[in-house]
Structure 1
Amino acid sequence: MFIRHESLRSFLRFYPIVSGLIVLHFILFLTINFFPGGESTVLYWGVGQNGLIEQGEYWRLVTPIFLHASFPHVLFNSFSLYLFGPALEQMLGKVKFIVSYLVMGITANIVTYWLEDPFYTQLGASGSIYGLFGIYLYMTMFRKDLIDRINSQIVMTILVVGLIMTFVTPNINIIAHLFGFITGLALGPIILNKAKRYMPIIEMRQARDVSEPSFNPTRWKNKRRINSRLLKKIIWGLFILFVAAGLLIGFF
């Protein structure tokens, strides 16, 4: 679920919502940092500032989800979405995925507005991304038909590291992390009601290929390829855990 084998072209084709969100992240980041007036327009009008929200600028509960202040911030949030978004986009469908993503991020921002002081300012996709973790946790606990044991272990490892680092790392919006996660967990039984198990693109293509002969003369070569893919999965799995731990430590 979390190991990507697709080419860029296939990724864009099969996961258009995740792809669009990542592209939007970088477009807005580049606009803010490298285009004249970007900081004074996009950042100023999009950042979540509690005092301005209190004055009626309620769009600021939505726009911070797509904005990032620094390159590490946008890079690692986007990489998290790249790793953990595609499986849910396929399982939930495009509309349900983007609605859930926005609801989790907005809820995290609303609670931040309620609990923080009027001078508090926020931006970043952490509320929505932790919401994805909440959905995966519900899946791990109550919908074991949708996730295998290895991916469940990856989810639990990242969650433990992420939640610990949320409380020990400075300059983190703890409220957004927690309530994004809680919202995803609460939405789990609703949005996963009719979800189907994730199927990698390569398996989807094989399932559609009805011309495969019943006897495969290259079966021994295929077996070696399977072993090679398994080794690649193990390496990628370790890489995901390493990178996810790093990004959860300091960049959400």
Structure 2
Amino acid sequence: MFIRTESFRQFLRLYPIISIIIAIHILLWLLIFLSLPFGTTLLQHMIGFNFLISEGEYWRLVTPIFVHSGFGHMLFNSFSLVLFGPALENMLGKGKFVIAYLLTGILANLATFYIEPLEFAHVGSSGAIFGLFGIYLYMVVFRKDLINHMNSQLIITILVIGLVMTFINSNVNIVAHIFGFIAGAIVAPLVLPKTSGQPQIIMAGDTSYRPRMRIPRHFSIKHLLWLIIIILVILGIFL
């Protein structure tokens, strides 16, 4: 499900929305953190600063989804999209995936605005990423026809790790994590396919039928390396 088997070109072709989002992450990081003249100004206009939102700068409910506090922050969030996004982009289609990603991120930032104090400021796409996890959990609980048992257990494990890490680490926007997740569960029935059948989210790699994906017959060193990367990314996005 989360082990990528595509080449770089295949990934760009199969998952254009995720590729565009990651490209935006990288471009903004380059503009902001490579000491370009307008980088600091750009960052100041994109931070989710509650006081300025209250003054009418409502675009700040959207822009934090794409900007990050540093290279590591950007890297882990982008890699999490590489791992957790493709299955949903395949299943939902480009339009619904964009709607789900942006809507859950905006709702997470809106909750942050109403719950956190006016001096609170934040950046990062973790609210939207937790929105994807909320969609996955909805499938695990209510749409078992769309996900198999093995991946259901994997999703539950990831969510348990996420919940623990969210509350034990500092500098985490707890409100965005929780409400992004809740938003994902709410949005899920609106964007998921209405038809039922055999589990559709299995493994990545089969391009002959869009929702279904191939399970590798042999567990190789490549798969082991991907599992290690997955564990590191899971830990990274929750720090």
For normalisation by structure 2, the TM-score amounts to 0.90
Identify the residue that residue 247 of structure 1 maps to in structure 2: 236
Query: CA deviation digits over 1:136-194, x for unaligned, max 9?
Result: 00111111111111211111111000111101100110000000000001111111143
Q: Which residue in 2 is equivalent to 1:3? A: 3
**Structure 2: which amino acid aligns with 1:25?**
H
Q: Is the 8 A contact 1:104 1:180 kept in 2?
A: yes
Residue identity matched to 1:29? W
Change (3 A) 1:195 1:231: farther
User: Is the aligned partner of 1:60 residue 2:63?
Assistant: no
What secondary structure sits across from 1:145 in the alignment? helix
- Shift in CA distance, 195/56, structure 1 to aligned 2, threshold 3 Å: farther
Partner Cα distance (2:53, 2:230) in 1: 37
**Are residue 144 (structure 1) and residue 112 (structure 2) matched?**
no
| CA radius of gyration, larger in | 1
Q: CA deviation at 1:9?
A: 0.2
Contact 2:105 2:127 in 1 (8 A): yes
Checking the alignment, whether the CA contact within 8 Å between 2:138 and 2:188 is kept in structure 1 is yes
1:114 — aligned with what? 114
Deviation of the 1:116 alpha carbon: 1.0
| Pair 173,195 (structure 1): closer, same or farther in 2 beyond 3 Å | farther
User: What's 1:204 paired with?
Assistant: 207
Aligned residue number for residue 132 of structure 1: 132
SS in 2 for 1:189: helix
Distance 1:195 1:3, change over 3 A: farther
Q: 1:202 to 1:234 in 2, by over 3 A?
A: closer
Query: After the TM superposition, which residues 79-228 of structure 1 pair with which residues of structure 2 at under 5 Å, given as runs?
Result: 79-194=79-194, 197-198=200-201, 202-205=205-208, 227-228=217-218
Q: Quote the Cα distance in structure 1 between the aligned partners of 2:29 and 2:195.
A: 33
Give a deviation string over 1:50-85, Cα, whole Å, max 9, x none: 110111000000000000011110000000011000
Q: Alignment partner of 1:242: what SS?
A: helix
1:235 paired residue number = 224
TM-score of the aligned structures, taking structure 1 as reference length: 0.85
CA distances 1:91-120 after superposition (whole Å, capped 9, x unpaired): 000000001100000000011000111111
The aligned counterpart of 2:213 is none
Quote how far apart the aligned CAs of 1:239 are.
2.0
For residue 204 of structure 1, report the CA deviation from its aligned partner. 2.9
5+ residue gaps, structure 1: 209-225
CA distance in 2, matches of 1:237, 1:157: 17
Is 1:40 the counterpart of 2:40 in the alignment?
Answer: yes
Unaligned runs of 5+ in 2: 211-215
Q: Contact between 1:2 and 1:151, CA under 8 Å: does it hold in 2?
A: no
Tell me the percent identity: 50
Name the CA distance, whole Å, in 2 between partners of 1:76 and 1:16. Answer: 19
8 Å contact kept, 1:108–1:179? yes
Residues of 2 paired with 1:201 and 1:179: CA distance?
28
Cα distance change on mapping 1:166 and 1:25 into 2, 3 Å: same
Distance in 2, Cα, partners of 1:127 & 1:241: 19
How many equivalent pairs are there?
231
Contact 1:3-1:233 at 8 Å conserved across structures: no
Separation (CA, whole Å) in 2 of partners of 1:15 and 1:22: 11
